[in-house]
Each structure stands twice: as structure tokens, then as C-alpha cells.
Amino acid sequence: MNCKSCNKSFLLLSREYKCCMCNSIICSNCVSKIKRESPLYDKAYEIFSPLSIVNFQNTSKWNGSLFFCPTCRARFQQEYQMLLECENNLDNVRIFSINYKGKIPKSTLGGRIVKTNFYKNRCDAEYDLKLITKYLGGTSIINVKYNKDTDSRQTDSGGEYYYTIWQAEGEVIL
């Protein structure tokens, strides 16, 4: 097997990496990685994970890093820059609840159903839904509903603390 980028053959002890965007196998000389502790990783996970742009299943088992081939790293940087530009302009994204009975915008292109990850704060789920909408080029989200679930964590005293987590879901009008 050869590296997709430089075409170098893998030796018995050579380390192979799998690109998290295109699933190509690349060598250690060509790989580019983003560590789990990076703010870039967190933002990418919040937005790109629900859209299946980056495969977070391909993260390193050892340290949770994302690995990219050179082509996909450049594409990821472009996508991330576009995401940052969208963040500055969320005020004009309109949200229509699933219970809304008034006039709802229609799309000639059809809509796309999107879901956010789960968050402790419902406002964070709504914010990400707006950001995903803007990122996809939409102006409105219809049939918005909030899914809630329960999560828990251990307390310092050995007890268990239960709390509600929220996910936003809706149809992006393009």
C-alpha cells in the first residue's frame, strides 16, 4: 500500500494515518493533525459532526487527534474560515417552531433536516442550529423542535448529578 499524497510505500513499521475527510491512507510525512485540546477541534465537532463533513470516528485512539491529508487539510481550513464568517451574521436567521401557525417561508430548492449535538444549555443548541443554517446558505429554519434527554456525572462526594441536555432539530430553508 502507498501513501495517497506522496505515493511512498509503507514499510512494516511505518505508521499509517487515515484522513478524517476522505478516508485516504497517508504517511507520517504527509499527515496534518488537529489535537483534541484545540479550540479548532471543538468548533469543528459542534458544527461539522452533525453535517458529516468530518468523520470523528477516525480520530486517534491515543489522543483524539484529527488526521488530514494535505488536500483535505486545505479544504478543512476553507470550510472553517467560512464557518467563522457565518458566526458574525446570525441575527437575520429566522426560527419557526413546529407549532408556529403563521406564514412560513417556502423554498423552491427544498429543505434539509439538520440536528445539533446535545448541550447542557438549550440556547447553545439553538445557536448551533442557526450557525449550521447560515453555513448551509439558509435564511430560515422551519419546524424547529427541541429534543431533551438526561445525562449524569459523578460528584466529588461520590453521588450522581443528573441534568437535562438539549438538541435542536429543524428544516433549513435554502
Q: How many CA atoms lie within 13 A of 9 on its CB side?
A: 2
Instruction: Determine phi and psi for 148, rounding to 5 degrees.
Output: -125, 150
- Would you mind telling me the total number of residues written for the chain in this entry? 174
Please provide the DSSP assignment of 47-62 as one string.
HHHHHTSS-GGGS-TT
Percent of the chain with pLDDT over 70: 94
Q: Which domains does the chain have, with CATH numbers?
A: 16-87 (no CATH), 94-173 (3.30.110.70)
Give the distance from CA 17 to its chain's centroid: 21
Q: How confident is the model at residue 58 (pLDDT cuts 50, 70, 90)?
A: low
Residue 116, pLDDT score? 93
SS3 85: helix
Could you count the other beta carbons within 10 Å of the beta carbon of residue 128? Answer: 22
Looking at every residue in the chain, the average pLDDT score rounds to 86
pTM, rounded to two decimals: 0.78
Higher pLDDT, 151 or 104: 151
Q: How confident is the model at residue 155 (pLDDT cuts 50, 70, 90)?
A: very high
Residue 67, pLDDT score? 87
